Amino acid sequence: MFPFTLHTEVAGELADIQFPYLDDVDIQLKNTAAFLDACQGKPSNVCTAEQGAILQEIVERIYQSAEK
Amino acid sequence: MSLLKAAIIGGGNIADNNHIPALNQLSEQVELVAVCSRDFSKARALADKHGIAHAFDNTAELYSQCAPDVVVICTPNNLHYPQTMEALSHNCHVFCEKPPALNAQNAREMADLAAKKGLTLAYNLQLRQTGEWTLLTRCKADGLLGEIYHIKAHFLRRRGIPGWGYFTNKAMQGGGALIDLGVHVLDLALLALGYPTPDQVLGNTYDFIGKAGGKGLMGSWNPSTFEVEDAATAYLSFPNKASIVLSASFALNQQADKERNLEVFGSKGALNCFPLRYTPK
């Protein structure tokens, strides 16, 4: 497996920087907490209703394109 | 802050394994008071298993007897729209499983009603909480990527047509691999670009393997009732010339059993977020 890698240029040379020690996260717990934060008016990175509407529109356009 | 009162609608795996345990762990903010499922015995069993007081087999009783502040919707995709609209009309905040709905019009109405009511409606796209995504947002904020102009987003299974649930039923799910899996990585790709709307969309869908049948790695499926796409690919182009290449599959003849990957290309650097660790319990 390849760990998370940043491909970039450092000091004039090409570099691949890896981050092999990222923590495991309980992503459901964190996402539910983010939703509850949003309900309470706190900053949150949960997917909003507006973003969901855009996402659904794009999914629909992909399906429509596929039918042509 | 008083405790929010929450109810779960839908008694399947995602409620049992994901949402209920998460809500129960957040007991300082929320009290899970009820489970509602079409099948009362299923609702009761789930409530008993997780120490939840009430079980219902219809939402009318749920709202009249429990008056929840928060509703979590974990039902098949075709019920997301009516159940979200009903919950919002009862002045509940809604946490809905993905995808938002079966079509764009419904998702738009859901967002509009939430805005009109001043309520939170959010979708459970939990890859946003992975360590990889968090690091990506920090790298972006630190200017390590420069201007992001191209993203490859994949959520691929070799033979992962689910052998349970309604995943191959088009009327209930609205589609297959794209609407079930692709939305997770499409969400991240859009988020990396600031959630713009593309001006050009080119897509293709396939059902060669789903309709032919074959060996399954996530249970077996019935090819004669397979109604959705087993794979989808798309190219999205945005007004600022940024682009996303998306692919999603339930079944694709590739080596890896599962592959979730986001490659984000910027003017100063690129990130290869492989593999995106998606580890529901």
Size of interface A-B (CB pairs under 8 A): 214
Domain count, chain A: 1
The ipTM estimated for the assembled molecules is 0.95
Q: Tell whether A30 is covered by a domain.
A: yes
Residue numbers in A near B23 (CB within 8 A): 32
Closest alpha carbon to B231 in B260, B208, B261, B254:
B208
Residue B239: is it exposed, middle or buried by C-beta count within 10 angstroms (0-12/13-18/19+)?
Answer: exposed
Q: Tell whether B279 is covered by a domain.
A: no
Q: Tell whether B280 is covered by a domain.
A: no
Do B58 and B43 share a structural domain? yes
Q: What percent of chain A has pLDDT over 90?
A: 82
Residue numbers in B near A8 (CB within 8 A): 144, 268-270
Q: Which of B124, B152, B174 is the last residue of a domain?
A: B124
Q: Where are the beta strands (DSSP E) in B51-160?
A: 54-56, 70-73, 93-96, 121-123, 148-157
Q: Mutation test of the interface with chain B: which of A7, A46, A56, A57, choosing the one with the most B Cβ atoms within 10 A?
A: A56
Q: Tell whether A27 is covered by a domain.
A: yes
Q: Tell whether A42 is covered by a domain.
A: yes
Q: What is the pLDDT of residue B280?
A: 40
Q: Tell whether B281 is covered by a domain.
A: no
Residue numbers in A near B234 (CB within 8 A): 62, 65
Do B146 and B90 share a structural domain? no
Do B34 and B11 share a structural domain? yes
Do B190 and B261 share a structural domain? yes
Q: What is the pLDDT of residue B226?
A: 97
pTM exceeds 0.80, yes or no? yes
Q: Tell whether A31 is covered by a domain.
A: yes
Q: Tell whether A17 is covered by a domain.
A: no
Do B171 and B46 share a structural domain? no
For the domain that residue B222 is a member of, what is the CATH number?
3.30.360.10
pLDDT in tens, B250-281: 999 999 999 999 999 999 999 998 665 554 43
Tokens of B105: 């019009």
Residue B80: enclosing H or E segment and its boundaries? helix B80-89
Q: Tell whether B224 is covered by a domain.
A: yes
Q: Tell whether A15 is covered by a domain.
A: no
User: Coil, strand or helix: which one is B87?
Assistant: helix
Residue range(s) defining the domain that contains residue B116: 4-124
User: Coil, strand or helix: which one is B83?
Assistant: helix
Do B178 and B99 share a structural domain? no
Do B120 and B230 share a structural domain? no
Distance CA B207, CA B20 (A): 34
Do B267 and B134 share a structural domain? yes
Q: How far is A45 from chain B (nearest CA, A)?
A: 7
Q: What is the pLDDT of residue A21?
A: 85
Q: What is the pLDDT of residue B171?
A: 96
Do B251 and B134 share a structural domain? yes
Q: Which of B106, B124, B142 is the last residue of a domain?
A: B124
Q: What is the pLDDT of residue A22?
A: 84
Q: Mutation test of the interface with chain B: which of A21, A24, A26, A32, choosing the one with the most B Cβ atoms within 10 A?
A: A32
Q: Tell whether B215 is covered by a domain.
A: yes
Q: Which of B63, B98, B124 is the last residue of a domain?
A: B124
Domain count, chain B: 2
Do B108 and B41 share a structural domain? yes
Instruction: Reply yes or no on whether the pLDDT at B6 is more than 70.
Output: yes
Do B117 and B81 share a structural domain? yes
Residue numbers in A near B278 (CB within 8 A): 27
Q: What is the pLDDT of residue B277?
A: 58
pLDDT in tens, A36-48: 999 999 999 999 9
Q: Tell whether B23 is covered by a domain.
A: yes
Q: How far is B63 from chain A (nearest CA, A)?
A: 19
Do B147 and B14 share a structural domain? no
Q: Mutation test of the interface with chain A: which of B1, B117, B126, B197, choosing the one with the most A Cβ atoms within 10 A?
A: B126
Q: What is the pLDDT of residue B275?
A: 66
Cα dist from B20 to A28, B16, B91, B189, B201, whole Å: 10, 6, 21, 28, 37
Q: Tell whether B278 is covered by a domain.
A: no
Record: contact A38-B122, CB cut-off 8 A = yes
pLDDT in tens, A53-66: 999 999 999 999 99
Nearest residue on chain A to B262, alpha-carbon basis: A4
> Nearest Cβ partner of B120 from A24, A39, A58?
A39
